[in-house]
Amino acid sequence: MNTYIVKRLIFKDWYLYRGMLVGALILGLGTTEAIALAKATWIAVIMGVIVLATIIIGMGAIITSTSVNERKQQTLPFVMSLPISYIEYTTSKIVGSLLMFGALWLALVLGMVATILSTPWFPHGMIPFIVIMSVEMLASTCLIAAVSVTTESQGWMIGITQLGSLALNAVGFSIVRLPGIGGTMKSATVQWSSTSITILLVEFAVIVLIIATAFFVQSRKRDFI
């Protein structure tokens, strides 16, 4: 693996998407700041969480579409004329997308958690639920990135993005009924139950599985352009 070239390709995508990334970061952190300035009323918190979730999901779809865009905008022959193998290209796309998204995701999730923690009347017991849902968004973005790089198809990407949104709702509705999560949500303090930790571990395992599958599929590809 030529890590130097993989890094160059990752930096390339960071450079090309830098405007959107900075814009999303400013909008996201501005939203958390606005919640705090609005004295953190219920409606402000709920609106803020919706805006942050929209930014995360939207940016996930934009960032992970780099592979599809390489084909659509016909820059793939340019990239593949460079001294790289399929696996190095795949690595740059998956790792690059996840690093870009991960940086934004982490900043916004930490901002959200910090806002909740700085709001004394807001139930801090919500935090495990919010973290689980945020990791679910991360897993969903990994799936979109994997499908994007393996299929390079906009149709598939749109389908998987919609599926990811439905899965997000389904996961949210399902876990809120679990006593280990729903039962502690109104608590004034953060309570990490074994249920919430197990769900988080399953989510991270799914992320690893998705990424491994993407590399496996790419390693078996015979035609790249």
* Residues making contact with other proteins (CB under 8 A): 2, 5, 8, 12, 15-16, 73-75, 77-78, 80-85, 88, 222-225
**Least distance in angstroms from the C-beta of 19 to other proteins:** 8
Q: Which is nearer to other proteins, 80 or 200 (CB)?
A: 80
> Rounded to the nearest 10 degrees, how much is the dihedral formed by the CA atoms of 129, 135, 140, 146?
-170
Contact 140, 59 (CB under 8 A): no
Q: Which lies closer to other proteins via its Cβ, residue 8 or residue 186? A: 8
Nearer residue to other proteins within complex by CB, 17 or 129: 17
Residue 69 Cβ vs other proteins, minimum distance, rounded to whole Å: 10
**Where would I find the H helices in 118-188?**
126-151, 154-175, 179-182
Is the CB of 64 or the CB of 184 nearer to other proteins? 64
Whether 170 and 150 have beta carbons less than 8 Å apart is answered as no
Closest to 94 in 3D by CA, of 199, 15, 207: 207
- Rounded Cα distance between 32 and 110, Å, is 10
Closest approach of other proteins to the CB of residue 15, in Å:
7
Q: Smallest distance, Å, CB 215 to other proteins?
A: 17
Residue with smaller CB distance to other proteins, 78 or 192: 78
Among candidates 67, 210, 191, which has minimal Cα distance to 138? 210
CB 212, min distance to other proteins, A:
22
Query: How far is it, in rounded angstroms, from Cα 98 to Cα 141?
Result: 8
